[in-house]
Amino acid sequence: MKTLMLKLEPIIWGLFSGGMMVGGILLPVFVLVVGLGGGFGAVDGQALGYDRIQALATHPIGSLLLLAAMALPLWGGAHHLRHLWIDLGGLKSDGLVGALCYGVALVGSLVAILAVFRLHG
């Protein structure tokens, strides 16, 4: 298991860095603009209407962005949890814990893909 994870390490690092960018930079800005801007009236209420959000989410680029916003932070969190486990002295069981963390991120990503595809149906 450990050798497989070492071979997949570049892919995992790419997903991790994408997850940290989305989860650490883009999502907080989105929550700030939509949550506070919509609540204080700085964002037009019609801009956040159901029909516009549905049209954005079903557009191919919007679907891709929605999928990235759901799936990539899972990979960032999985990578952080794995390395936290290693830092706490779990190096001997890193193969099992790493597979578990990344397996959960993979299942969550598949659920996100399914959710995005169901928007088009």
Extents of the domains making up the chain: 2-120
- CA-nearest of 37, 62, 38 to 52 is 62
> What pLDDT, on a 0 to 100 scale, did the predictor assign at position 87?
92
pLDDT (tens digit, 9 = 90+) per residue, 83-113?
Answer: 999 999 888 888 899 899 999 999 999 999 9
Q: Check: CATH 1.10.3720.10 for 2-120? A: no
Predicted confidence at residue 111, as pLDDT, reads 97
pLDDT of 33-62, one tens digit each?
Answer: 888 888 888 888 788 888 998 999 999 999
2 pLDDT higher than 80 = no
Residue 101 CB partners (closer than 8 Å, separation 6+)? 78, 79, 81, 82, 85
